[in-house]
Amino acid sequence: MEKLSKKKFRVLSVCGSGTVSSTMVGDRLKDILDKKGYTLDINEVKPTEVSSYVDQGGVDFIIATTTVSGDYDIPVLNAVPFLTGFGEEEFLEELMETIEKLENQ
């Protein structure tokens, strides 16, 4: 049986308005990762809010359905496939690789 992690990750979910797409993507990820034993604390934000959240610290990674400008020391994942369904498996693989790397730090 697969060992379940109790790791909690703080995530920024970014979309153009900071509400609709970011909430949809965040809720889907919570459901999927909850089944794998992960807990996500997700803040839905607009692109203009990303820097201030990252500067405050404690954000593990960013998922985005829009362009996120700037260079950050945390992973930024393109979550558009989660909306369209095209490339969704690849997105989930990248997400799990990111989570595994974060767990091993």
- Domain interval for residue 54: 8-103
User: Residue 3: inside a domain, yes or no?
Assistant: no
> Is 2 part of any domain?
no
22-33: string of b/e by CB count within 10 Å (b at 16+)?
bebbbeebbeeb
Tell whether 56 is covered by a domain.
yes
How many helical (H) and strand (E) elements, i.e. helices and strands, does the chain have?
4, 4
Q: What percent of the chain has pLDDT over 90?
A: 74
Short-list 81, 10, 91, 8, CA closest to 43: 10
The count of structural domains within the chain is 1
Judge whether 20 lies within some domain: yes
**90 part of a folded domain:** yes
State the CATH number of the domain containing residue 33: 3.40.50.2300
pLDDT by residue (tens digit) across 38-87? 999 999 999 999 999 999 999 999 999 999 998 999 999 999 998 888 99
Rounded to two decimals, the pTM is 0.89
Helices 88-103, 20-35: inter-axial angle, 10-degree rounding: 60
Distance CA 21, CA 44 (A): 9
